[in-house]
Chains A and B, each alone.
Chain A
Amino acid sequence: MLSSVNLASDLGAVWLTFKLATVVTLLLLLIGTPIAWWLARTRSWWKGPVGAVVALPIVLPPTVLGFYLLLLMGPNGVIGQFTLWAGIGLLPFTFGGLVVASVFYSMPFVVQPIQNAFEAMGDKPMEAAATLRASPLDAFFTVAVPLAKPGFLTAAILGFAHTVGEFGVVLMIGGNIPDKTRVVSVQIYDHVEALEYGQAHWLAGGMVVFSFLVLLALYTLNPTGRRK
């Protein structure tokens, strides 16, 4: 009886994690691509500061990021006041809050591979497209994006996997509400706290297998340019 309840809550956590990672990855591809394009092509003084802000989650402890996001999304924060004004309500302890927090948290893992791909491509293909009558937007979709495809693939996989693996930010923003904000990593923590090692094992082992498969996919689909 107890184990079927546990199984249901485990599956709920897995499903929630999958949903969160998918939504975040799609959002990040939409938001991250223009940022990556700008960072790759600009000669502006702002490139350094913007690049540093995007990269912050790589070095910051997730709790720090989570703490400030919590404040920002709270009733006195900028984001919180905006969401209240927009009639969405407050984001902390909701799925929406997790999505927003994860977008910030996983941003560098999506932006940087795409940015690197755009930088490696250089100006030449875009110039060739312009001399063949393609407008900048046309050339972006028909030349830059296809040429940067390996970068997009890496970005999607890393963004997805990194969102799946987050723990600190989720705890700070989402807490631990079953089927709403309780993702796999938090569920594992709960199992261990409750000394349910067996339950913890299959989730944790599942994560190991999942992460391995993700990285394997990354390395086989994306042989790092060492083709003959």
Chain B
Amino acid sequence: MSIAAHFKLAYPGFALDVDLDLPGRGVTALFGQSGSGKTTLLRCIAGLERGVGHLSVNGECWQDGDTFQPTHRRPLGYVFQEANLFAHLTVQGNLDYGMRRTTSADFPRHTAIIEMLGIGHLLERKPERLSGGERQRVAIARALLTEPRLLLMDEPLAALDLARKNEILPYLERLRDELEIPVFYVSHAPDEVARLADHIVVMDAGRAVAQGPLAETLARTDLPIRLGEDAGVVFAGTVLERDPQWHLARVGFDGGELWVRDGGAPVGHAVRLRILARDVSIAHSHHDDASIMNLLPATVVEQAGEDHPALALVRLRVGNTSLLARLTRRSAHALALAPGQQVWAQIKAVALIG
């Protein structure tokens, strides 16, 4: 089960050239700055843009040489950046539009989708009477109701403010956990990617500069240059204990345990943890007289330069989990860091996401 996408497309001042082999399930983030070609790639996959190349989705050929399935013959769902609902139809009319044109009539599933996105009470409204977040939820439901075999989402949160974003993210997480089809999710927001993606493709100037499983790819020291302030790692953990007195939760992961702010997840629940490189510092000895709560024994793996000449990025291993630490080059020099060295990672902040 995989998706092979190979496209070349040139505009004045921009050229897309990618050759990707992506997993046929889970959420794949197409991540990059604006202008990096991620939306163009998504549009090529949808057939809205015609690049030269080939595309096969889980064994089905959608484009190859002269073969080009037009968009309306591709079993995909597409969620546009600004919902793009039909203004002349009600929410119900919008949902019916795609449903009528796909063959099956699996009603329990339809109501499940409407329920999952919480839009049951909006069905009679016109799109102009919906909030931005509601519109986007209707657009997602509309796409899912065609029972696509691939869901494409083009920055579905980019046009929304923070409150609306936080309103939709839980729905997207449910989608990720409950959907069995592959999802391609275009985004330039590292926090969305960290929360939702299983797999990441990093785009830059029309090319895919890196791709791989999320945790592994984020821990690479040669990429964070492109992530800047947001360089950091994401990994999975399990809630082991909740401390009601201090509102903290003890989370175990492959390599140790961390105390984090209690996000409400029950004991035994799987969670994602995100640690930014700027929140990790390195010490030779164990200091328990500081405010830092999470101290982990770690091994230095490698060191790389950052985009600013004063900074260095150090990759550490804690058990089987990678961490990134951002230091000044002077500190790195003073600590005389070398691969294989045992150090203490001092972690100032851990975000519990999803």
Interfacial chain A residues near B78, Cβ < 8 Å: 127-128, 131
The residues in B between 82 and 105 inclusive whose CB is less than 8 angstroms from any CB of A are 84-88, 97-98, 101-102
- How many interface residues does chain A have, given as a range? 10 to 19
- How many interface residues does chain B have, given as a range? 20 to 34
Interfacial chain B residues near A129, Cβ < 8 Å: 72, 86, 97
Interfacial chain B residues near A136, Cβ < 8 Å: 72
Interfacial chain B residues near A133, Cβ < 8 Å: 72-73, 98, 101-102, 146
Interfacial chain B residues near A130, Cβ < 8 Å: 47-48, 70-72
- Which one, A131, A135, A147, contacts B86 given CB within 8 A? A147
Q: Indicate whether B46 reaches chain A with its CB closer than 8 angstroms.
A: yes
A118 to chain B minimum Cβ distance, whole angstroms, is 14
Report the separation of the CA atoms of residues A129 and B102 in the bound assembly, to the nearest whole angstrom: 13
A73 to chain B minimum Cβ distance, whole angstroms, is 41
Q: A127-B48, A127-B71 are in contact. Are A132 and B84 (CB under 8 A)?
A: no
- Which one, A127, A134, A146, A149, contacts B101 given CB within 8 A? A134
Q: Indicate whether A206 reaches chain B with its CB closer than 8 angstroms.
A: no
Q: Indicate whether B206 reaches chain A with its CB closer than 8 angstroms.
A: no
Report the separation of the CA atoms of residues A193 and B143 in the bound assembly, to the nearest whole angstrom: 68
Report the separation of the CA atoms of residues A127 and B68 in the bound assembly, to the nearest whole angstrom: 16
Q: Indicate whether B77 reaches chain A with its CB closer than 8 angstroms.
A: yes
Q: Establish whether residues B84 and A127, one from each chain, have CB atoms under 8 Å apart when the complex forms.
A: yes
Q: A131-B77, A133-B102, A134-B72 are in contact. Are A125 and B146 (CB under 8 A)?
A: no
Q: Establish whether residues A132 and B70, one from each chain, have CB atoms under 8 Å apart when the complex forms.
A: no
Chain B residue, CB-CB nearest to A133: B101
Q: Establish whether residues A128 and B86, one from each chain, have CB atoms under 8 Å apart when the complex forms.
A: yes
Chain A residue, CB-CB nearest to B43: A127
- What mask results when residues 62 to 74 of chain B are scored 1 for a CB within 8 Å of chain A, else 0? 0000000011110
Chain A residue, CB-CB nearest to B73: A133
Report the separation of the CA atoms of residues A131 and B142 in the bound assembly, to the nearest whole angstrom: 10
- Which one, B70, B80, B101, B102, contacts A128 given CB within 8 A? B80
Q: Establish whether residues A132 and B101, one from each chain, have CB atoms under 8 Å apart when the complex forms.
A: yes
Chain B residue, CB-CB nearest to A125: B86
Report the separation of the CA atoms of residues A123 and B146 in the bound assembly, to the nearest whole angstrom: 21
Chain B interface residues toward A at CB < 8 A: 46-48, 70-73, 76-78, 80, 84-88, 97-98, 101-102, 142-143, 146
Q: Can you spell out 29 A-B residue pairs with CB atoms less than 8 angstroms apart?
A: A127-B71, A127-B78, A127-B84, A128-B80, A128-B84, A128-B85, A129-B97, A130-B71, A131-B46, A131-B71, A131-B77, A131-B98, A131-B143, A132-B97, A132-B101, A132-B143, A133-B72, A133-B101, A134-B72, A134-B97, A134-B101, A136-B72, A138-B72, A138-B101, A142-B97, A143-B86, A143-B88, A147-B87, A149-B88
